[in-house]
Amino acid sequence: MRYAIILLLTAVFIYFFFKSVDWKDVLNNLTDVNPFLFGLASLLSLFHMVTRSIRWQYLLRYEKKHVSLWSRFSANGVGFTVNFIFPGRLGELVRPLYLAQKEEIKKGFTVGTIVVERIFDILTNCLLLGFFLISRPLFPSFYHADEQAYSELGSWGIAGLILAVSLLVLIFVLYSFQEKALSVFTFILKPVPKKIATKVINILREFIEGLQFFRSIGNVFVYLLLSVFVWFGIIFFYWVFFMAYDVSLPYFSLIPFIFLTGAGASIPTPGMVGGYHYFSRLGMTRFLNIGDSLAVSLTIVQHAVQLVMTCLLGYAILWKEGLSLLQVKKLGEEKVQ
């Protein structure tokens, strides 16, 4: 049933992505590219794994002061490869569990760090979008959409900000009152066999330990700055990619597009297919003044570049570590179960 729903959702998004497109124009646009800039953009598609790995250490240091950059980078590479190949965003569990196994860190702790990472990804995107929208009177040349489009986008941003802040408050409360929180979970798990309940509580305790950076407002601010650095790098990849296809855009004008593609990528379809494509086309046509056919062409190539480069990296890491993709997939599935 779960896979049926995911496939149906994918099909719906793909339908709207390809709707009313001139296929001849789409195919012609695919080859009209600057090879040097295209090669640079392909390499930059992996840059976010480096910046994410640097940011990750800021959270991991509370459990283990020195976690090698290679371990963090390889965990990201393998995790994002799993995300591209299998449905359900399983790679989000594979990343922390792979690192925990490799560096002998508590599994619950590393999972907690990924929860923090994703919350701050949402928060950062919403804050960047907010700054972009309030800057409209100062930089009118950045804005290509009509008032209604920006109003709708602002509503999405507010909803995302509310979600991110709510999750932040929730996990802050969870960390600040951890013993009380564990007591509540212990009470809820009373009907469950004692062996299983004890295991769950231990994992929850480790998870809460992964939220230790919340003990200081300064830590939150520094991590937010690191998150901005991560997303500026992602924007840079798209900026260079657009230039490769002779689409010149101001760097910061890509913020609405990044916000929408991030929303599409979060939909748990296999390899982001469908959700990413639909929201990418929407972002290009409504906020970057790019025609439908070119938007479809660019989205197809962007997704293909990220998929191929990520999977090549992921398979290279697995080959070096003597592992198979199914082994790391099973690692995530066992945690889910």
| Average pLDDT, integer, range 180-198 | 80
Residue 155 pLDDT grade (very low, low, confident, very high; cuts 50, 70, 90): confident
Token digits for 321?
A: 């570590």
Q: What is the pLDDT of residues 205-249, one digit of tens each?
A: 777 776 777 777 788 888 989 999 999 999 999 999 999 999 988
Percent of the chain with pLDDT over 90: 31
Distance in angstroms (rounded) separating the CA atoms of residues 330 and 94: 9
- pLDDT attached to residue 333: 64
Q: Round to whole Å and give the CA distance between 102 and 142.
A: 45
Give the long-range contacts of residues 110-115, CB within 8 A, separation 24 or more. 110/60, 110/63, 110/210, 111/206, 111/207, 111/210, 111/335, 112/206, 112/207, 112/208, 112/209, 112/210, 112/211, 113/56, 113/59, 113/60, 113/210, 115/171, 115/207, 115/210
d(CA 235, CA 255): 7
Tens of pLDDT, residue by residue over 274-284, are: 889 999 999 99
Asked if the model's pLDDT at residue 336 lies above 60, the reply is no
* Confidence class for position 37, pLDDT limits 50, 70, 90: very high
* Portion of the chain with pLDDT greater than 70, in percent: 97
Q: Would you say residue 22 has pLDDT above 80?
A: no
Domain ranges of the chain: 2-336
Q: Which residues are within 8 A (CB) of 22 and not within 5 positions of it... i.e. 6 or more apart?
A: 292, 293
Query: Residue 121's CB: how many other CB atoms inside 10 A?
Result: 18
CB 93 within 8 A of CB 336: yes
End-to-end CA distance of the chain: 17
What average pLDDT does the structure give for the chain? 85
Task: Flag whether pLDDT at 314 surpasses 90.
Answer: yes
CB atoms within 10 A of CB 261: 28
Query: Three-class SS of residue 181?
Result: helix
Q: What is the pLDDT of residue 198?
A: 80
- Residue 332's pLDDT is 64
Tell me how far apart the alpha carbons of residues 301 and 299 are, in angstroms, rounded to a whole number.
5
User: What pLDDT, on the 0 to 100 scale, is given for residue 235?
Assistant: 96
Q: pLDDT tens across 160-175, in order? A: 888 888 887 887 787 7
Q: Which stretch, 11-15, 103-107, 328-332, has highest mean pLDDT? A: 103-107
- Identify the CA nearest to 87 among candidates 270, 264, 267, 265: 270
Residue 55 has pLDDT above 70, yes or no: yes
Please give the residue that has the higher pLDDT: either 121 or 11.
121
Give dist(CA 50, CA 46) in Å, integer.
Answer: 7
* Residue 215 confidence (pLDDT): 73
Lowest mean pLDDT among 24-33, 138-147, 234-243: 138-147
**Token representation of residue 111:** 């999972």
When pLDDT is cut at 50, 70 and 90, the band that residue 335 belongs to is low
Element (H, E) at 156: helix 147-176
